[in-house]
Chains A and B, each alone.
Chain A
């Protein structure tokens, strides 16, 4: 379980997260939505230790990660995978190498084990034939599927997605969402920052609505989309739906 307690994050004088508390239970899919600049990415980045919180605590499986040393930080990052809006594949490595690099380097897997796992994952995201290709030869949708496979190669228990389809051409959104739905079905615990309301509605167990650094609503998708409680959520939904 991921538990965030009274989290604050400031950049200089700009308080970007204000008193955020939330829980992500094992097996849950949580959709995080809200207008641009509301702090969604910063929240994910705090959970993944890419940013250091100014105040408050984050627990991952009961370990307080806000007071963590370097070695345990790597353990946590193995446990929590991240998929970025702009993929960030390693351009100088082939697709297969992208998938095997971290498992070999960080998890001390043998090359053989890593390759086997990578091939399995590429099959799962439908890209077996691209194993030897370099990322620059792939379409956006293919890149993002490789990025998801790369995160999965570490066998994480939690997967964070930061707007995984926002940089894609419309015709490629579905192939990525399909992979994510498949993951959700298999019980992967996921936190997804997204502007894809259809996906949030269909796949999420819980919707978190953020605005100006605060969580304004936490609700089931049906409840949130049909009866938003706050005016700001209503405004937001009017704009995006």
Chain B
């Protein structure tokens, strides 16, 4: 069978595959937001004065960076439920794993952003009597996050691509849907190419949006 008749054979399934993009985006977005919140908390622990919190946050990070993501996902979805007997949907397992995982990476990015903020900013806020929490929230983090916007955008794009491994636990994302169509038709090339192209376009759109956003942010100074 030539390649064109392959595509026409699965033509009616193409919208089904393409619509997987929403699941992919949903996982990436929910994970990125929870990862960012977690990352902020972890980075504050890391730079804070309380040694035990700093140590715990570092330990957390090293665990999530030191093991394969696919293994973390499998543990959350298959192993832990068996151990303590709860039921978890594949989507929830995916979001939890990716959120925790991305929190580890984000915390390192945010920490580097905080360290890149001029020490004088801490002193100026301190000299005005601004309490630590308010200083972090209103003065330091806004400047830190602006500095690390490109790195965070990168993290989000990585997340979008890596989320394809949720196909291994049956979440019907872009990747999984291509596999489903492939299996139904015993025809691999066309459906996989469809998801291939959609991933690529998605990442390009995100890259462009990221650049536009950065440009807008840098205009204020």
Contact = CB atoms under 8 A, between A and B. Distances in A.
Interface of A: 48, 50, 74-75, 77-78, 80-82, 84, 86, 88-92, 101-102, 105-106, 134-136, 150-151, 154
B123 A91 contact: no
Interface in B103-125: 118, 120-121, 123-125
Contact of B129 (A78, A88, A91, A150): A78
A84 B124 contact: yes
B120 A86 contact: yes
Contacts, number: 64
A150 B220 contact: no
Contact of A92 (B125, B131, B220): B220
Interface residues of B, number: 20
Contacts of B120: 84, 86, 88
Contacts of B127: 48, 50, 77, 80-82, 84, 151
Contacts of B139: 90
Interface in B70-93: none
A77 B139 CA distance: 17
Given A86-B120, A88-B120, A77 B128 contact: yes
Contacts of A102: 125, 128-130
B123 A134 contact: no
Contacts of B138: 101, 105
B130 A92 contact: no
A90 B118 CA distance: 10
Across the A-B interface, the 5 shortest Cβ-Cβ residue pairs: A88-B124, A77-B129, A88-B120, A102-B128, A82-B127
B170 interface: no
Contacts of B118: 88
A154 B221 contact: no
